[in-house]
A and B are shown apart, each in its own frame.
Chain A
């Protein structure tokens, strides 16, 4: 099983990135998820290993983010890590805007969007991974897409102060 998990590491890493606001968070999430998966090997009932790991990571992410949100005075200081500069083909500003847009999604809507779009799961598979009805997959996907589109188009910019 360990070897199989190692084979899936690139996929798991990608999913952890897609759920996290920045790279250090993604690395932490990946580690937590691997530790959780290995600690609960006994509960893996021969189900599709990849889907099982995706479920674990989704749950770990929800728990982690809940903890972080509940921690008083939490300030995310490493946000600048999401500005990727290694790859000259993509516009770093565009990429940064997209990252900022998905960071605004709720955890639930975000995992559905990433499982469908980035990981390429079918809607039925996503329903299975997240243990939610198909209709809920659809409504979360729809909300996620619209929110990202609105953010990128600047529709949901909220003025913090009223103009004088």
Chain B
């Protein structure tokens, strides 16, 4: 594919021509070749049409996405994409631990006291919030319409009975929930949504032997998290809403569970 091959035009040259991989000189030479070679010209035309169709198809999907993202962030408190990805990284590490079970699991086996367990809650909660609230098609594994199944299933995986807090009187309905890894063990992530599409998540993890803590607050970017331990269960409420409202919601969750 260099200027050395001036006299012959191989099939590879035709591909490279279609994809604009050559210098202008070589491109012109191949154009000339195509003028006198109908078979090659036809092949090139068909590949060019294919390229255009593919480019158009995926350009369109990219534009659809952009519209969707703009619409979604407009309906929320702030631009969601500004959320730092440390949170995503945190969940990735938890997920990696769940899959590989080796070095990360060893790391978490040292988290045998309440302090470290609870310190990691806000990060994992933010990760769950960032990853799953941005899901348009399947934000939850089990929807709220199967609430009894949902709480039974998640409760069984956590090894504890729990109820999904009812936040309808403060404007948030339950969307559903999913199982997420937290500290190397199953955790539950519940998602809520208000009428404007604003979403909240509640991460619930269980640490046998842990003790109660007070409310703690953490913020990274636009995502704020209130978290606490209530006996063996750790809770973390995350959302991109202002601190005062989130605190009121956290208190509501705390009272119900």
Which positions in A face B, CB cutoff 8 Å? 2-3, 5-6, 9-10, 13-14, 17-18, 23-24, 27, 31, 34-36, 38-39, 41, 84, 86-87, 90, 94-95, 98-99, 102, 113-114, 116-118, 122-123, 138, 141-142, 145, 148-149, 152
Cα(A3)–Cα(B57), bound, Å: 27
From A6, A34, A95, A123, B57 is in contact (CB under 8 Å) with A95
Residues of A within 8 A of B57 (CB): 90, 95, 98-99
- Most chain B CB within 10 A, of A27, A35, A141, A142, is at A35
What band does the interface of chain B fall in when counting residues whose beta carbon is under 8 Å from A? Answer: 35 or more
Cα(A95)–Cα(B248), bound, Å: 49
Residues of A within 8 A of B85 (CB): 2, 5-6, 34, 38
Task: Given A149-B46, A149-B50, output 20 extra A-B contacts at Cβ < 8 Å.
Answer: A2-B84, A2-B89, A6-B85, A9-B81, A10-B65, A14-B61, A27-B135, A27-B136, A31-B131, A35-B92, A39-B89, A84-B64, A98-B54, A116-B19, A117-B50, A118-B54, A118-B58, A138-B12, A138-B15, A152-B50
Whether B86 is near chain A, meaning CB under 8 Å from some CB there, is yes
- Most chain A CB within 10 A, of B46, B50, B60, B64, is at B50
Whether B66 is near chain A, meaning CB under 8 Å from some CB there, is yes
Cα(A9)–Cα(B65), bound, Å: 11
Contact yes or no, A13 B138, CB < 8 A: no
Cα(A36)–Cα(B58), bound, Å: 24
Cα(A36)–Cα(B65), bound, Å: 22
**Chain A: CB-nearest residue to B12:** A138
Q: Interface on chain B toward A: helix, strand, loop, or mixed SS?
A: helix
A-B pairs under 8 A by CB, number? 99
Cα(A122)–Cα(B55), bound, Å: 15
A105 → B minimal CB distance (Å)? 11
Q: Interface on chain A toward B: helix, strand, loop, or mixed SS?
A: helix
Cα(A114)–Cα(B54), bound, Å: 8
**With A35-B88, A123-B16 in contact, do A23 and B58 touch (Cβ < 8 Å)?**
no
Whether B62 is near chain A, meaning CB under 8 Å from some CB there, is yes
**Chain A: CB-nearest residue to B1:** A123
Cα(A149)–Cα(B12), bound, Å: 17
Cα(A113)–Cα(B47), bound, Å: 11
Contact yes or no, A90 B60, CB < 8 A: yes
A149 → B minimal CB distance (Å)? 6
A137 → B minimal CB distance (Å)? 10
From A27, A39, A90, A99, B93 is in contact (CB under 8 Å) with A39
**Chain B: CB-nearest residue to A11:** B62
**With A23-B137, A35-B95, A84-B61 in contact, do A123 and B89 touch (Cβ < 8 Å)?**
no
From A3, A24, A102, A145, B137 is in contact (CB under 8 Å) with A24
Whether B116 is near chain A, meaning CB under 8 Å from some CB there, is no
Whether B168 is near chain A, meaning CB under 8 Å from some CB there, is no
Cα(A148)–Cα(B48), bound, Å: 12
Residues of A within 8 A of B84 (CB): 2-3
Beta-carbon contacts of B29-52 to A below 8 Å, as 1s and 0s? 000000000000000001100110
A104 → B minimal CB distance (Å)? 14
Q: Which residues of B from 115 to 138 have beta carbons under 8 Å from A?
A: 131, 135-138
Residues of B within 8 A of A99 (CB): 57
A67 → B minimal CB distance (Å)? 12
**With A117-B19, A117-B55, A123-B16 in contact, do A87 and B60 touch (Cβ < 8 Å)?**
yes
Cα(A99)–Cα(B57), bound, Å: 9
Whether B91 is near chain A, meaning CB under 8 Å from some CB there, is yes
Contact yes or no, A10 B137, CB < 8 A: no
Beta-carbon contacts of B66-85 to A below 8 Å, as 1s and 0s? 10000000000000010011
Contact yes or no, A148 B50, CB < 8 A: yes
Residues of B within 8 A of A27 (CB): 135-138
